Amino acid sequence: MKKTTLIISILLVFCMSNSLKSQEMTNEQKKSYALGANVGESFRSAKITLNETDFLNGLRDALAGNNKFSQAEMQQIFEMIDQEIIAQQSSGSAEEMAKGAAFLAENKKNKDVVETPSGLQYKVVTMGKGAKPTATDQVRVHYHGTLIDGQVFDSSVQRGETITFGLNQVIPGWTEGVQLMPVGSKFIFYIPSNLAYGDRSMGIIKTGSTLIFEVELFEINP
């Protein structure tokens, strides 16, 4: 976490007001509360624990120009926070990878599921009769993405709009998988974390997550 980010976060949390209903707030109060709530959600998501009294004391001291820590001490503390976040992410990644490995091991027992040498798994829902794209082609598709527990994280189907993109601009599991699809096909892909986002988190997608995509290929634009 950067020093400036933490300072801004402290300032924003100070502005929050829980005593007013949203319709009774001034625009200034609404902005302050929304920004503070966003910071709070970010801290909660990152699992950063805070002592509320010390947190507010630090805020007041900083506003009064009486920060108890030197810049060097502040930097050391921020580095400590960074290390704690990294450790939490690594632990979460290992847990998610273990869940994904167990899921994929069981999933490939299904006679309709094919596993490629990379570890990508797929199931054919509908096999089209058109051409297959290459890794440098643009494709137009519908997709529906879920975690292995069924939680939806992204879906062009739900939005009601197809999407066009280059196969060299997406996660490796997509680049490999969609090249297996003739136009007119619908496949389900089971993508291990190393072919997805790996140690990156993306919204509700945790680090190390195995992903499931149902993909329908409509068109190739070389």
* Residues labelled catalytic: 143, 153-154, 171, 197, 213
* Alpha-carbon gap, residue 61 to 63, rounded angstroms: 5
Helices and strands (H and E) in the chain: how many:
6, 7
* Alpha-carbon gap, residue 69 to 10, rounded angstroms: 15
For 161, the 3-state DSSP assignment is coil
* Alpha-carbon gap, residue 91 to 113, rounded angstroms: 30
* Alpha-carbon gap, residue 137 to 17, rounded angstroms: 52
Residue closest to 191 by CA, chosen among 37, 178, 183? 178
* Alpha-carbon gap, residue 171 to 152, rounded angstroms: 18
Q: What is the DSSP code (8-state) at residue 222?
A: -
* Alpha-carbon gap, residue 176 to 64, rounded angstroms: 57
> Which residues does 201 contact at the CB level (< 8 Å), separation at least 6?
89, 207
